[in-house]
Amino acid sequence: METIIWTEALSVGVERIDREHQTLVVMLNDLGQVIGSGQGQQSVAQVVCRMRQYAQEHFATEEEAMTATRYSGRTSHMAEHDAFIEKVLEVEDALSQGEPVAAGDIWKYLRLWLTEHIQGPDKVLGEHLCACGKG
Ligand SMILES: [Fe+2]
Ligand SMILES: [Fe+2]
């Protein structure tokens, strides 16, 4: 699995959110290592579960900021978070039931979702929070 490097291109201009995104990138790289080292589905499941739990904490950070600033894009942004968690829970279920799951495809999905979400709706949210003086 390739390594993802966090660069300013992924910054949304809000320090706390950037720090949490950096942690998610670290977790994604950890997952890549576990998959690459062939440690098996149980280990993959554990790392995916940890990453999903941290993503939920992170989404709560963003959603609280959206509520506090009466952000108009809150509903659609939250729908993206919810769809992501739902999808990851499905993957966790499949892994825990020992169903054959292509770990590399999971990793690619997580990477694509994370980078597109950060550079899309999270950046828009970051601009809004900065404009509200919450950057
Ligand atoms: Fe978000
Ligand atoms: Fe985010």
Gap from CA of 122 to ligand 2 centroid (Å)? 5
* Phi-psi domain of 90 (left: phi exceeds 0; alpha: psi -120 through 50; beta: other): alpha
CA 133, distance to chain mean position in Å, is: 25
Which bound ligand lies closest to the C-alpha atom of 114? 2
Q: What is the pLDDT along the chain (135 residues), one digit of tens a residue?
A: 789 999 999 999 999 999 999 999 999 999 999 999 988 899 999 999 999 999 999 999 999 999 999 999 999 999 999 999 999 999 999 998 888 889 999 999 999 999 999 999 999 999 999 999 988
Which bound ligand lies closest to the C-alpha atom of 12? 2
User: pTM, whole model, 2 decimals?
Assistant: 0.95
Gap from CA of 33 to ligand 2 centroid (Å)? 23
Which bound ligand lies closest to the C-alpha atom of 14? 2
CATH numbers and ranges of domains, the chain: 41-129 (1.20.120.50)
**Number of other residues whose CB lies within 10 A of the CB of residue 121:** 19
CA gap 28, 51 in Å, rounded: 8
* Rg (alpha carbons) of the chain, rounded to whole number: 15
